[in-house]
Structure 1
């Protein structure tokens, strides 16, 4: 693997690659760090020499971590089951609860990104016309999401929506009785031995459940190992196994034909079933159950139309070749 990756880096075939960590059966089989310009939520960091301890934006990989956290707090009975009415969890908006089209929404519709609400996130993330950016700028992020125009019945079609994740993050924080990042430290990061992380927040001080997490690739790979082990880490249950199995069950199809569970993608890569978390710029966490393999990829190709190419090349032509 190392020789294949080195040759591809030399040939310029993995543009913008910042780091790769692949762990198979608990053993690191590939680790690579590069150099290049990087950004954190649009803030230029200059040219960075990446090292094992360097934190990296995970962007929307954060969404999949939020789904893991929902399972841990659900196990304690502190958040509603997926089938529960969604609007009922936000009693501060009685006017929205009075609209019949919205009362059909459930927590599961948020988990599967099938709310049926208008949400445009294909617009560049440096524009306030992008719905996620508009949500971050809104005085009340949860109301912003829940009051979007209803355009179709919920549960029928997957439609990418960072607002759905924001709602889940709000439910986690409310149920746990502490901010999302604080709960994540106790429920997930400390049990996995993850000591260094950042969870960026909006101007309102609320951690972005959709895109705010920064981790080193080694620690991201640990989360993949946790999924492989159905929620166990070093013999200790961290996330309920039943939730992991439920979370990675395909429920809807994405626009490009992949399966989608609870905030995780179900793909086929190089003929292998892969459970995937994906983020803007080429961030990936790939879990390959039949190989007992977890692969973390971080890259700096933010907002580019072919940002998928570098992580896919690493997976297809290096790790799974």
Structure 2
């Protein structure tokens, strides 16, 4: 890897942190200020990928039923909904954001802010009408993530955070974090977590190591693979595809490239404002980016592809 080039291209972006590991070794660690290494960063929608990991653990433990299970198993009111196809929504549809629920995360209906202003977030999501047949189209929906968090609390018999501490954070040695909750005390499935960059790297490293940490298989290899495979193509302006609360893509774009052009597949968590965890399986590499500049000054989605990816193969 050409770390000098990476440093040069990242300089104008002014990130809070950039960490790169390969084969489990931390090779690049850069912070805007040294004290930021121990600060908790709001990881926003990267929380979704942690929720995905917890769902996989619950599946491995037999606590969560097969992803083909209808969500009405947990929310019986869906079976009696006037829109009969709402009863067809499955766990897999929630994981892949293909529930068909009429939702505009920001703008338009402004569904996400509307949800957070209600006294019962889960009921708000369940009450939304369908816009598409379940399973046919991806619509980014943090409300669906909140349904998954509510389901996890039900099947595990404990809070989502406690379950994470027992079966994910504990084994990884992640001790410092905060996690928001909805009015019913359900930890937020689609956002709301804060953690240190080094702990974000640990989480990414777990996936780079096929779910294994030390002598413990925290997530089965089968579910690591299944959850990070492209499940449905993302519509413009988003790029790539979506798995189980993970984004998937290839670098570089294959159109117009020669047969011998080096390339790699990757999957990543991404949170508003420039929080990201990238895993490149073929290189056994994990890249963590954090930022604190919001709105117009936020880090662009393509910073990984322009400032880091070109130099991972050199």
Normalised to the residue count of structure 2, the TM-score between the two structures is 0.88
Judged with a 3 Å threshold, the aligned counterparts in structure 2 of structure 1 residues 317 and 111 are, in CA distance, closer, same or farther, namely: same
List gaps (5 residues or longer) in structure 2.
253-262
Separation in 2, partners of 1:268, 1:33 = 27
Counterpart of 2:4 in structure 1 is 3
- What whole-Å deviation, never above 9, does each CA across 1:88-126 have from its counterpart, x for those lacking one? 2113x36744641211111111011001111011329xx
Question: Residue 22 of structure 2: which of 24, 30, 50 is its match?
Answer: 24
- 1:258 matched to 2:231? The reply is no
Alignment of 1:34-49 (within 5 A): 34-35=32-33
Q: Is the 8 A contact 1:19 1:298 kept in 2?
A: yes
d(CA) in 1 for partners of 2:103 and 2:312? 35
Are 2:158 and 1:178 equivalent residues in the alignment?
A: yes
Alignment of 1:1-321 (within 5 A): 1-10=2-11, 12=12, 14-15=13-14, 17-35=15-33, 50-91=35-76, 93=77, 96-97=80-81, 99-123=83-107, 130-255=110-235, 256-270=238-252, 271-304=263-296, 307-317=300-310, 319=312
User: Cα 1:113–1:153, aligned 2, differ >3 Å: closer, same or farther?
Assistant: same
CA RMSD of aligned residues (A): 2.1
Are the structure 2 counterparts of residues 24 and 94 from structure 1 closer, same or farther at C-alpha, using a change threshold of 3 Å?
Answer: closer
Partner of 2:260: none
The answer as to whether partners of 1:78 and 1:176 remain within 8 angstroms in 2 is yes
Task: Using the TM superposition, give the Cα deviation of residue 260 of structure 1 relative to its aligned residue in structure 2, in angstroms.
Answer: 1.3
TM-score by length of 1: 0.87
SS in 2 for 1:239: coil
Q: Identify the range of structure 1 (74-83 vs 285-294) with the bigger mean alpha-carbon deviation.
A: 74-83
Distance 1:9 1:282 in 2: 13
Conserved? CA contact 2:161–2:179, under 8 Å: yes
Q: CA deviation at 1:174?
A: 0.9
DSSP-derived class of the 1:275 partner: strand
CA deviation string 1:182-240 (max 9, x = no partner)? 11111100001111111122344332110111111111111111111111101211112
Contiguous gaps of at least 5 residues in structure 1:
36-48
Residues in 2 aligned to 1:9 and 1:159: alpha-carbon distance in whole angstroms: 31
Following the alignment from structure 1 to structure 2, what is the Cα–Cα distance between the partners of residues 64 and 284?
Answer: 10
Of Structure 1 and Structure 2, which has the larger fraction of its residues in helix? Answer: 2
Residues 106 and 112 in structure 2, CA contact (< 8 A), matched pair in contact too: no
More strand by share: 1
8 Å CA contact 1:282–1:308 kept in 2: the answer is yes
Give the Cα separation in 2 of the matches to 1:87 and 1:186. Answer: 28
Paired residue secondary structure (1:190): helix
Separation in 2 of the partners of 1:50 and 1:310? 24
2:171 aligns to what SS in structure 1?
Answer: coil
Give yes or no for contact 1:301–1:307 (8 Å, CA) kept in 2.
no
CA contact (8 A) 1:136 1:203 kept: no
